[in-house]
Amino acid sequence: MMTRAGFEHFALSLPATEIVHQWGDASVAKVGGKIFALLSGWGTDGQAGLSFKCSDMSFALLPDLDGVRPAPYLARAKWVQIIDPSALGEDELRNYVRAAHGLIAGKLPRRVRAQLGLTDLAMAVPQTP
């Protein structure tokens, strides 16, 4: 998932997701117009770094892993960046991105969630490892 194609393919499999290319051609995944994950070269010497919104607990724990750090520009909003693809397994990365989608979608106004076909039940935030 650390390639642009892999990230975009997975992100687009999540409900009501769109991908936009912005900020120096970063691949930005949004739900309801709000960002939940992105793949960019910010602070990684041009290498792909996967950044995503995470829970308070995940934000406290993940940066302790080698290859994971608070995300540049987004850390104050509890985002992390994976700078080493081996820091987490593929399934773990997918679970964290899925959880990020749920965190952001769950904060959208009820009207917007309804317009996007996102029910409250579907937006139950998955538990992250």
For position 23, what pLDDT does the model report?
84
Rounded CA separation 63/94 (Å): 17
Helix, strand, coil abundance in the chain, percent, nearest 5 = 35, 25, 40
- Residue 52 and residue 37: Cα distance in Å, rounded? 4
What is the reported pLDDT for 127?
A: 47
Q: pTM of the prediction?
A: 0.88
Q: Domain 4-116's class?
A: alpha beta
Q: What is the pLDDT of residues 79-123, one digit of tens each?
A: 999 999 899 999 999 999 999 999 999 999 999 999 999 975 444
Is 87 or 125 the better-scoring residue by pLDDT? Answer: 87
Under DSSP, is residue 8 helix (H, G, I), strand (E, B) or coil?
A: helix
The CA dihedral of 95, 31, 75, 4, to the nearest 10 degrees, is: 70
Predicted confidence at residue 120, as pLDDT, reads: 59
- Top pLDDT among 44 and 122 is at 44
Q: Where are the domains of the chain?
A: 4-116
DSSP 74-120: TGGGTEEEE-SGGGS-HHHHHHHHHHHHHHHHHTS-HHHHHHHT--T
Which of 65 and 40 is assigned the larger pLDDT? 65
- If you average pLDDT over residues 59-70, what whole number do you get? 96
Does residue 46 or residue 34 have the better pLDDT? 34
